[in-house]
Structure 1
């Protein structure tokens, strides 16, 4: 697998921090969104490049605007 790209790593870090702030496990987020736990882990590590639709599902479940998630990631 190729090295993660810095913007994806930053986005994953921001997503992880919001998830932890909400006190949700990857499993709990997975159950709320229908996005597989392993995929969420890959996004958080910057190994996956999620679609906008997937990011919207995750952001909605985390009660954060997608624009705020990108801002936190410095994007």
Structure 2
């Protein structure tokens, strides 16, 4: 699973989901889906999100190790 820190980064900047969506060029629903792990963004979108936050992509997204059952 790819974890993200979008909600935290938005809160640090006091941005709403709508504001981030406008800056990135996607719908608010897309941001909601990414934050709730219902949608994994494309690599291009992931880089765009990181660029909007002015951080490295690894500061936004990280792969979580799969747990053995």
Runs of 4+ residues over 2 Å off in structure 1? none
Q: Which has the greater radius of gyration?
A: 2
TM-score normalised by L of structure 2: 0.79
> What's the offset of the Cα at 1:35?
1.2
- Kindly indicate which of the two structures has a greater share of residues assigned to strand: 2
User: Is 1:25 equivalent to 2:16 in the alignment?
Assistant: yes
Unaligned stretches of 5+ residues in structure 1: 1-6
- RMSD across aligned C-alpha pairs, in angstroms? 1.8
TM-score normalised by L of structure 1: 0.74
> What's the offset of the Cα at 1:74?
5.5
- The alignment covers a number of residue pairs equal to 65
Unaligned stretches of 5+ residues in structure 2: none
